[in-house]
Chains A and B, each alone.
Chain A
Amino acid sequence: MVKRLIFGAIAILLVSLGAYAALYVAPDERTMGVIQRIFYFHAATAWAGETTFFVCFLANLLYIWKRQPKYDWLGVTCAEVGVACITVVLITGPIWAHPVWGIWWTWDARLTSTFVLWLLYISYLLLRTLIEEADRRAVLSALFGIFAFIDVPIVFGAIRWWRTQHPAPVIMGGPGSGLDPTMRRVFFFNVLAMHVLAAFLIVERYLLEETKHDVQTLQREAEAR
């Protein structure tokens, strides 16, 4: 319990420091001005969400391979935390886009593929609510999770042909791209903070899933008597 509290406190502290750095430490962006500061939050959350979905994919594979319930719990946990992160991304994106592009939404490659990614994992969570038997639910949702995850690169590639309005990748984007060193430090600090926050949420949600399982087991035992 103490460990969980300390972990939570660290996560909140890091996110608060990240927010402070994004608002006060990072320099103003030349053309976009102050509105660009949401980028630290927006892009860092997107990275954390994508990492979380990758962990979900690994958990799905491990469940199919090992058939241990803990991987099923990890799968649903990561899907939920990932959906939460991507929801934040889909909300903060338009907040940034409206003053900069003049529109809330555009059907550009990265926006659209993020939206499809979000829909795929919403379907994954929906599927889980519709299968009653725990073992079948675990197997079938793990398989759907695998199919959904391998679909994501194809979705992204297919949508990318359309002309894209999203800012070109500034990190690992190729020659001519790149961030100011202070911006870079602030950004990566935020990426770290969001990953720690996501990890904290995953641990908490996982423990909840475990408790749920224990309660169900006890219930069944009580009914059997």
Chain B
Amino acid sequence: MGLLSNAAAILGKEVRTEFRSRELLSTTIVFVLIVVVLFSFTFGPTSNESRRFGPGLLWLAFLFAASLMLQPCFLREQVNDTLSALRLAASDPFAIFLAKIGANTVFLLLTELIMLPVFAILFNVHYQSQLPGLLLTFFLGSLGVATAGTALAAISTQAKMRELLLPVLLLPVLAPILIASTEVTVGLMSPEPFMEWKGIGFILVFDVVFLTALWLFGEYLLEE
């Protein structure tokens, strides 16, 4: 079996496991909702202000959510003692990472797509005309968050204090994603929307660099 068919099989397993219980998704969505509401208390969410700060808050909420929701992707395997089996089954350890990144990207993207209309209503932001641009930003941003997050979740799972450690490791690494995605989203949600292609380019660079790093070094993360 090739790398991609391996990855597809594991991706199928990840998505099936999650959609049987939907524990991760439902908790994450509620978490993001709570963070967005709490943010609104820290400044007056009138329209002009929310256009300027809203996208940043939204991305910050996504990043916080990601740093919590990415934890189980390796913890589940460790608790059930299934990681060795997974490593034996996959011809290349990168297939495991590819599948986990794919699954995490899907989960993050779903959370973002559900939260976008809610956020737009609460903060009175118009986004409908810019939906394709936003989808592209969300997809590439989530891919970057999922790639770095999956790699660092593999590290934090093997340490003490793992629940606290993952955000500490992950959030500084994700600084470029936060900056670039916020810039692009601010542009798209401004009164005269524009596409900040430089931002998209930046997110793309981050995605490619971290995917390559994981392809080169991923196998060492899963050693025993």
Chain A contacts to B: CB under 8 angstroms? 64, 116, 119-120, 123, 126-127, 130-132, 136, 139-140, 143-144, 146-148, 150-151, 154-155, 157-159, 161
CB < 8 Å neighbour of B179 from A126, A148, A159: A159
Contact, CB under 8 Å: A155 / B148: no
Digitize B182-214: 1 where CB-to-A-CB distance is under 8 Å, 0 elsewhere. Answer: 010000000000000010001001100110010
Report yes or no: B169 in contact with A127, Cβ–Cβ below 8 A: yes
Contact of B217 among A64, A130, A158, A161 (CB under 8 A): A64
C-alpha spacing A159/B79, complex, angstroms: 39
Residues of B within 8 A of A126 (CB): 165, 168
8 Å CB contact of A158 from B165, B169, B175: B175
B113 CB contacts on chain A under 8 angstroms: none
A-B contact pairs, 6 of them (CB 8 A): A131-B160, A143-B155, A146-B217, A147-B151, A147-B213, A155-B176
Seed contacts A144-B152, A154-B176; 18 additional CB < 8 Å A-B pairs: A64-B220, A116-B172, A127-B159, A127-B165, A130-B159, A131-B158, A136-B158, A139-B220, A143-B220, A147-B151, A147-B173, A147-B210, A150-B209, A151-B173, A157-B202, A158-B180, A161-B179, A161-B198
Instruction: Give CA–CA (A136, B224) in the complex, Å.
Output: 8
Which secondary structure dominates where chain A touches chain B? helix
Report the Cα distance A131→B148, complex, angstroms. Answer: 20
B-chain residues with CB within 8 Å of residue A158 when the two chains form the complex: 175-176, 179-180, 202
